[in-house]
Amino acid sequence: MNLAAKLRPDVAIVGLNVPGLNGIETARQIRKLSVATRILILSMYSIPEYVYQAFRAGADGYVVKDARGSELIQAVRRVSSGKRYMSEVVSNVIIGDLATDRGVRDPLSLLSERERDVLRLTTLGKSSAASAKLLGLSPKTVETYRSRIMRKLEIRDITGLVKFAIRHGIVTLDS
């Protein structure tokens, strides 16, 4: 993040599942810090929800980690020229998903950015006090956000929030 803000690269290759980081949030932050930087997600997952979240966060391309080196080079060239790129295996999965799920609304679109931050920290096991400190809020405000998130998503407990977050790419099992 610091390097992206300082160097403002033409293309940032962001790992979706880097230990200690969330690639979706990293992409979102890079997009805020440097609008001109093109973002290419590199992931071992071709799960539709991860792909959707990556593009919603501002990614310009999505490549699976087992892609050949020539494909990665092609993806970098394509996104650096202002175009979008998706590995063929990913596009096949997405097309199949679209064919079966037309009209499904993204539940994350119901949440504000701050609510997504609280959701991510909650599902990473952070207490209200720890989340509040990281976000510059009071613990009571974090609890209010958490309650609002659960109401909007119609989820009744923290376990349900964790399952939701994993399913929607907010956190991964590796986080």
What's the domain count of the chain? 2
* Among 100, 117, 145, residue at a domain's last position: 100
**31-62 tens-digit pLDDT:** 888 889 999 999 988 888 888 888 988 999 99
The string of DSSP codes covering 37-88 is: -EEEEEES---HHHHHHHHHTT-SEEEETTS-HHHHHHHHHHHHTT--EE-H
pLDDT at 102: 52
**126-157 tens-digit pLDDT:** 999 999 999 999 999 999 999 999 999 889 99
* Among 100, 118, 137, residue at a domain's last position: 100
Q: Please give the Cα distance from 38 to 46 (Å, whole number).
A: 20
Q: Please give the Cα distance from 148 to 18 (Å, whole number).
A: 29
Q: Has residue 17 got a pLDDT over 90?
A: no
Asked if 141 and 65 sit in the same domain, the reply is no
Q: Picking from 8-17, 95-104, 118-127, 162-171, which range would have the lowest pLDDT averaged per residue?
A: 95-104
Angle between helical axes of 113-123 and 158-167 (0-180°, round to 10): 110
- Structure-block tokens of residue 142: 């974090």
Q: Please give the Cα distance from 154 to 13 (Å, whole number).
A: 35
Domain with 83 in it: what CATH number? 3.40.50.2300
pLDDT at 147: 93
Residue 173 located in a structural domain: no
Asked if 157 and 75 sit in the same domain, the reply is no
Residue 126 is part of which domain span?
Answer: 107-167
Higher pLDDT: 133 or 19? It is 133
Residue 175 located in a structural domain: no
Residue 133 located in a structural domain: yes
Asked if 85 and 35 sit in the same domain, the reply is yes
Tell me if residue 93 falls in helix, strand or coil. Answer: helix
Asked if 84 and 156 sit in the same domain, the reply is no
pLDDT at 40: 95
Asked if 93 and 10 sit in the same domain, the reply is yes
pLDDT at 3: 80
Q: Judge residue 88's burial from the number of C-beta atoms within 10 Å of its C-beta, 0-12 exposed, 13-18 middle, 19 or more buried.
A: exposed
